[in-house]
Amino acid sequence: MKQLILDTLVTGMPLVTSVIGIWMIFRLREDFDLTVDASFATGGAVTAALLVKGSGVVPAMLVAIAACGAMGLMTAGLHLLLRVPVLLAGVAMSIGFYSVDLAIMGTPSVSLADGGTLFSGFANLSPDQADLATIGVLSAFVLTVLVGLGLFLRTEIGLALRASGVNARMARSQGVNVRVLLCFSLVVANGLAGLSGCLVVQSDGFADVNMGTGTLIAGIGAVLLGELILRPTGSKLLRTMLALLVGALAYRFILVGALRLGLPATDLQAVTALTLVTAIAAERYGRPLLSLLRRRITTIGPPSRAPRAAAGTGGQ
Amino acid sequence: MLTLDDVRLTYNGGTSAEVRALRGVTLTIPAGEFVTVVGSNGAGKSSLIKLVAGEERPTSGRVELDGRDVTRLPVHRRARDVARVFDDPRAGSLPELSIEDNLALALSRGQRRRLRFAVGGERRALMRERLAVLGLGLERRLADPVGLLSAGQRQSLTMVMAGLRDPRVLLLDEHLAALDPGTQRRVLELTTAMVRRLGCATVMVTHNMEHAIDVGDRLLVMSRGELIADFSGERKAALSVEALVETIASAGDAVSDRMVLREEAAPAGAGR
């Protein structure tokens, strides 16, 4: 169990920032930006390529994040100038950047085992201590982003951003330039996905050209799971930020748990898809089922048995 | 001051589906004047509002605010001068967000938005003060999501939002249509009080002849994209619902039931 939690945190923490980025488009803009699949991989590819060339960790990460922000700007350009829907623009980007990532790395995968990463210093520690140290560094990144975004969304510009996603027509009539904010959120969202890619390649010790596939889907699943667990609403930003963290980790927990149960790694994509569908179904039908459950508990059975029975009939 | 100079608006120009929504409207509304606009469906009332708000650009003609040409300015760049209350209470607010967030957004209307907290102590005090005037108890519910409010409460809130930053033009687009008669009366009182306080040019589109006659300084009648009558002063004071209906009917337009129904007799939500 301890190892399960450590694995969840080590592999889940780097993904939180990409989940935040996906949330910015999915919930704040009510749209799907598939560019994150590409920017996640590009973030990893750029970081790996620069580190292998001997660049420092900080410049490598900054360049990678900037490149991914620029990708968000390209998607915004496709959408605003050519009037391509965001989803379609993202598809084009994610396919196109596969080749770009290959060109950046030169090979389909690059190993960072020789060191020079954010986590290389922990190599001499015992495995458990190395994990804890890694989690500490990752948490610092994640908390900085969460607190920063939470505070930003409370500002006048942040409020305008939230408004433009809920009711663009009204936001415009209040003087909000919706187009500029769309560009801004795409740049930030992809920058965050890029940061995620940076962190993943460094903690995994290698970069792979396919690593971005499924990022958006997994992120949507994580957002939904978090909302299911914490039920945040519009103006409750602290709760919303917490839901993102919890959702991302819960999602990862399910995947790591499936691996631990002996599922081959090749089945993970199926687990991802199933978790997403289950989260959507639970979001849709979970609440009525839950209230039914509560009523039953209070009216008839002892609380220890009733939930299991009801969950058994409802879940299958 | 709002000026429209021979404004024309054609949808789908040059095709078989061509609709000429406005066919040359020329109009000047000085600051402080409260104008009501009536007309049957398709008369061009909503097009007029959209044109002033910037949601539509005229096919030809000019729109000016205080002598400044704003014809080609998009909605968000006119927002400093133009406040608008939509016909649908849902359209003018953010249901998921709290009352204070909604008000904070309107407090920055047309201002340069900065990286400072949108809701603070000083702003909250102003919000409470403005909401207290409504007498709905909303000043004690700043953190509640707007989605929890009734249609009347929401429309009252959007009225307050429109008046937070003094606009040069206030646009009221059938803003009573979705409300029940009792609430209509209350929001209408709120409207006249607010218009008096703001002292800006006000355009109120309504389908209710009584409202159009009872409030405001000037009454415009539209038909098929043109202004066909302009009553003010004593001529407006002497108007009756019957005479107004006659004016519209004589232009060849159908007068729908909801336009002549007395307020008391109108079923709840008749406007939708």
Beta-ladder partners of B65: B2, B68
Q: What is the pLDDT of residue B267?
A: 47
Q: What is the pTM of this model?
A: 0.86
Identity of the residue numbered B227: L
Mean pLDDT along residues A265-271: 84
Beta-ladder partners of B98: B145
| Domain residue spans of chain A | 2-262
Mean pLDDT along residues A1-10: 90
pLDDT > 90? residue A115 = no
Pair A270, A276: CB distance under 8 Å: no
> Is B145 strand, coil or helix?
strand
Size of interface A-B (CB pairs under 8 A): 97
Provide the shortest C-alpha distance from residue A19 to chain B (in Å): 21
Name the pLDDT band for B258 (thresholds 50, 70, 90): low
Q: How far is the CA of A111 from the CAs of A11, A63, A103, A144, in angstroms?
A: 17, 19, 16, 28
CA-nearest of B223, B147, B156, B150 to B187 is B156
pLDDT > 60? residue A144 = yes
Residue A312, exposed/middle/buried by CB under 10 A (0-12, 13-18, 19+)?
exposed
Tell me, yes or no, if B73 comes closer than 8 A to chain A by beta carbon: no
Q: How far is the CA of A125 from the CAs of A130, A132, A162, B59, B158, in angstroms?
A: 5, 10, 44, 73, 61
Q: What is the pLDDT of residue B124?
A: 94
Pair A21, A188: CB distance under 8 Å: yes
A227-244 as b/e: b if 16+ CB within 10 A: bbebebebbbbeebbbbb
**Beta carbons of B95 and A159 less than 8 Å apart:** no
Mean pLDDT along residues B13-17: 85
Contacts with A265 (C-beta within 8 Å, 6 or more apart), sequence order: A259
Checking phi first, is residue B215 left (phi over 0); if not, alpha (psi -120 to 50) or beta? beta
Q: Where is pLDDT greater, at A276 or B255?
A: A276
- Match 């007498």 to its residue by tokens: B135
CA B117, CA A152: separation in Å to the nearest integer?
8
**CATH dotted code for B1-81+171-272:** 3.40.50.300
- Match 């179904």 to its residue by tokens: A281
Name the pLDDT band for B90 (thresholds 50, 70, 90): confident
- Match 């002549």 to its residue by tokens: B260
Q: What is the pLDDT of residue B28?
A: 96
> Is B24 strand, coil or helix?
strand
**Beta carbons of B97 and A152 less than 8 Å apart:** no
Q: What is the pLDDT of residue A301?
A: 46
> Is B230 strand, coil or helix?
strand
Q: What is the pLDDT of residue A243?
A: 94
Q: Please state, as a whole number, how many other Cβ atoms lie within 10 Å of the Cβ of residue B171.
A: 24
Mean pLDDT along residues B46-54: 94
Mean pLDDT along residues B66-88: 93
Q: What is the pLDDT of residue A295?
A: 66
Q: Is the ipTM of this complex over 0.85?
A: yes
Pair A248, A256: CB distance under 8 Å: no
Extract the tokens encoding A152: 């930003």
Residue in chain B nearest A150 by alpha carbon: B117
CA B159, CA B186: separation in Å to the nearest integer?
12
CA-nearest of A22, A34, A191, A14 to A98 is A34
- Which chain B residues contact residue A173 at CB under 8 A? 53, 75-76, 79, 82, 84, 92
**Beta carbons of B115 and A167 less than 8 Å apart:** no
Write the pLDDT tens digit of every residue in A163-176.
998 899 999 999 99
Name the pLDDT band for B195 (thresholds 50, 70, 90): very high
Give the percent of chain A with pLDDT over 70.
Answer: 90
Pair B169, B137: CB distance under 8 Å: no
CA A238, CA B94: separation in Å to the nearest integer?
19
CA B246, CA B255: separation in Å to the nearest integer?
9
Q: Please state, as a whole number, how many other Cβ atoms lie within 10 Å of the Cβ of residue A292.
A: 12
Mean pLDDT along residues B148-172: 93
> Is B256 strand, coil or helix?
coil
Distance of CA A181 to the CA centre of its chain: 21
Q: What is the pLDDT of residue B270?
A: 42
Query: Could you give the residue ranges of the DSSP H alpha helices within B134-201?
Result: 151-162, 181-198
CA-nearest of A33, A7, A1 to A255 is A7
Mean pLDDT along residues B137-153: 92
Pair A293, A313: CB distance under 8 Å: no
Name the pLDDT band for A306 (thresholds 50, 70, 90): very low
Number of continuous H segments (helices) and E segments (strands) in chain B: 10, 10
CA B247, CA A233: separation in Å to the nearest integer?
51
Give the percent of chain B with pLDDT over 90.
Answer: 67
**CATH dotted code for A2-262:** 1.10.3470
Tell me, yes or no, if A111 comes closer than 8 A to chain B by beta carbon: no
Mean pLDDT along residues A31-48: 96
CA A177, CA A185: separation in Å to the nearest integer?
13
pLDDT > 80? residue A299 = no
Pair A172, B76: CB distance under 8 Å: yes
Question: At B82, phi and psi to the nearest 5?
Answer: -115, 120
Tell me, yes or no, if B271 comes closer than 8 A to chain A by beta carbon: no
Q: Enter the DSSP assignment of B21.
A: E
Mean pLDDT along residues A208-216: 92
Lowest-pLDDT range of A158-167, A175-184, B145-154, B245-254:
B245-254
Q: What is the pLDDT of residue B82?
A: 95
Segment 158-187 of chain B within 8 Å of chain A by CB: none
Q: What is the pLDDT of residue A242?
A: 94
When scoring B81, B87, B94, B103 by the number of chain A Cβ atoms within 10 A, the one with the most, hence best to mutate, is: B94
Lowest-pLDDT range of A117-126, A245-254, B99-108:
A117-126
**Beta carbons of A170 and B94 less than 8 Å apart:** yes
**Beta carbons of B115 and A155 less than 8 Å apart:** yes
CA A287, CA A283: separation in Å to the nearest integer?
7
- Listed in order, the ranges of chain B carrying CATH 3.40.50.300 are 1-81+171-272
Contacts with A18 (C-beta within 8 Å, 6 or more apart), sequence order: A36, A40, A192, A193, A195, A196, A197, A215, A219
> Is B271 strand, coil or helix?
coil
Average pLDDT over chain A, rounded to whole?
88
- Match 């089945």 to its residue by tokens: A267
Tell me, yes or no, if B113 comes closer than 8 A to chain A by beta carbon: yes
Mean pLDDT along residues A235-240: 88
**Beta carbons of A174 and B145 less than 8 Å apart:** no
Write the pLDDT tens digit of every residue in A183-195.
999 999 999 999 9
- Pairing label, strands A109-111, A206-208: antiparallel
Lowest-pLDDT range of A271-280, B187-196, B246-255:
B246-255
CA A101, CA A207: separation in Å to the nearest integer?
10
Question: At B131, phi and psi to the nearest 5?
Answer: -70, -35
Mean pLDDT along residues B177-199: 90
CA B115, CA A142: separation in Å to the nearest integer?
22
CA-nearest of A62, A60, A20 to A185 is A20
